[in-house]
Structure 1
Amino acid sequence: MLDSGLSPEDFKLAFRHHAAGVAVITADAGDGPVGITVSSVFSVSAEPPLMVFSISGRSFSAPTIRRAETLVIHLLSAQQLNIARLCSTSGIDRFADTSIWSRLPTGEPHFPGVPVWIRGRVINRMEAGDSTVIAVHALESVHADIQTETPLVYHNRSWHALGDASQLDG
């Protein structure tokens, strides 16, 4: 049994000062597309190409993403703030506007306007507290001219654009 540890409020406060890249995960396990905004995506291995992310069990999208065999991870730039906001807003149909999303030939929903997306197969799931950690094997990716894109990051409960002015060394 774990010690009681930090309170949820203290834990969240500590992580508010840890900036993280913003991604949107989309999937369809057979009952319609879902999408969720996360800041927990990171690469684990280049060979084989593996990534992980976590989702809260309280999310409306969590049951579908947990059941999905494949999904799409969209790595957002600041130009896609609207998609980050869309997929982080509760109580709406995130796929109502059919002009901003489509399906890949393999069936997964995706946002084609995002500069980098990676389609992957779920290879492992682990329950961790009130969340699920999901490991994904990358199968294919599309990346536009990412040199012109400004990464979107989440810090201290707000969105930020990471730009050249934030670079500390040359």
Structure 2
Amino acid sequence: MDLPDVEPARFRDVLGRFCSGITVVTASLDGRPTGMTCQSFMSLSLDPPLVAFAPAVTSTSYPTIREAGHFAANVLAADQAEVATKFARSGGDKFAGTRWRQEVTGAPLLDGTVAHIECELVEEYRIGDHLLVVGRVVALTGHQDATPLLFFRGSFGALSGGAGPGAPER
């Protein structure tokens, strides 16, 4: 079957209508923290507990995360758009003025987030212009009262109200 190519601008426009959460993926190598904003983050498996994220092949932060062999996904709160913007930039000291701590893996856990997911890096696959990085979850922290930061149609936002009717029960 001969299928048409999808134009990148159209792809970005349509997929931008899919709301996603925002994480800052962090690691520490030889006492030096590194981090990057990532909206391509997902739960992958319950048994074993796995998550995945997808940095660009051209990422300047990801090679340090790979070398560290561990990472933390910091799920940002609605009031942390500035943090997302800061960690999305290339170069500079992204941790300047940012409060954080270290726990199980040594990866920086940013203050004020919705959740922290600490992982051991277990697999990496190159897919197109991104990598699919799989981590085995080794520690979790969640803050039930926090509202997550969302990304939709090129802008940051937050949930308005609760989950509402029709939301899946847990």
The bucket for the TM-score relative to the shorter chain is: 0.7 to 0.9
Give the CA deviation at 1:19. Answer: 0.8
The 5-angstrom pairing of residues 2-151 of structure 1 reads 5-30=5-30, 32-97=32-97, 100-104=99-103, 106-144=105-143, 146=144, 148-151=145-148
Partner deviation per Cα, 1:125-162 (whole Å, 9 max, x = no partner): 00111211101110001112x1x221211011100101
Q: Which runs of 4+ in 1 moved over 3 A?
A: 165-170
User: RMSD between aligned alpha carbons?
Assistant: 2.2
Equivalent-residue separation in structure 2 for 1:109 and 1:101 (angstroms): 6
Aligned residue pairs: how many? 165
Gaps of 5+ in 2: none
Give 1:158's aligned residue.
Answer: 155
Report the identity percentage: 28
Give the CA deviation at 1:31. Answer: 7.3
Partner deviation per Cα, 1:96-119 (whole Å, 9 max, x = no partner): 22x512333542222133231011
TM-score for the superposition, normalised by structure 2: 0.85
Equivalent-residue separation in structure 1 for 2:126 and 2:63 (angstroms): 13
Equivalent-residue separation in structure 1 for 2:160 and 2:93 (angstroms): 32
Equivalent-residue separation in structure 2 for 1:68 and 1:8 (angstroms): 33
TM-score for the superposition, normalised by structure 1: 0.85
